[in-house]
Amino acid sequence: MKAGLFFGSFNPVHIGHLAIANYMLEFTDLEEVWLVVSPQNPLKSKNGLLGAQHRLHLVHLALNDHPRIRACDVEFRMPVPSFTIDTVAYLSDKHPKYQFVLIMGSDGLASFPKWKNAEVLRELCPRYIYPRPGSPLPADEPGLVVVPAPLMDISSSFIRQAIASGKDVPFFLPPGVYDYIRQMHFYE
């Protein structure tokens, strides 16, 4: 079984995340996509980060029990900050029937060499790269697959800023996610 690991803070999860996950399922050889909710990205600030359990709940709401895309909270039981290499090693050990692939935006390639044990990770997992605004697509490299997914110029930071400034942005988020954010007054 081949599964794509789509790591993120998902602060909040939005339609762009879901469109990429769906594209990866339908236009690559992946059989599943796991949205791995990261409690704390070691390369990002924790400032403005919604609690991990709330972000996981939002992902569950967004997926609505999709049969091939699932929320993964494995990093909630690992030391913080979590490192991708440790998560992949843990998942590979726990799920030996799976071959894991990293799903990354082209904007993440510049920081990849700074990741813990990046060279080992490069050998362990192929990386499926989707285009991000303002980031060039990579040159041909072993283990790197460029997936020509639609360019999505939407981000969680845009959504957080819009909500904080009183904008009504329901169509950027799955309905259950938007409703829960409004109900809980997140990002206001």
| 122-170 tens-digit pLDDT | 999 999 999 999 998 887 888 999 999 999 899 999 999 999 999 999 9
pLDDT for 42: 67
First to last CA, the chain: 41
Is residue 7 scored above 80 in pLDDT?
Answer: yes
Cα–Cα distance, 26 to 20 (Å, whole number)? 10
- The separation between CA 32 and the C-alpha centre of its own chain, rounded to angstroms, equals 14
pTM here is 0.94
pLDDT for 108: 92
- The separation between CA 43 and the C-alpha centre of its own chain, rounded to angstroms, equals 14
> Which CATH number does the domain 2-153 belong to among 3.40.50.740, 3.40.718.10, 3.40.50.300, 3.40.50.620?
3.40.50.620
pLDDT for 139: 79
- For 78-92, the pLDDT digits (tens) are 998 889 999 999 999
Task: Give the burial string for 51-85 (b: 16+ CB within 10 Å, else e).
Answer: ebebbbbbbbbbbeebeebbbbbbbeeeeeebbbb
Name the band, by pLDDT with cuts 50, 70 and 90, for residue 73.
Answer: very high
Q: Domain boundaries in the chain?
A: 2-153
Cα–Cα distance, 183 to 13 (Å, whole number)? 16
Cα–Cα distance, 98 to 92 (Å, whole number)? 7
| Mean pLDDT for the chain overall | 94
Is the backbone of residue 65 left (phi > 0), alpha (psi -120 to 50) or beta?
left
pLDDT for 80: 84
Is residue 43 scored above 80 in pLDDT?
Answer: no
Name the band, by pLDDT with cuts 50, 70 and 90, for residue 45.
Answer: low
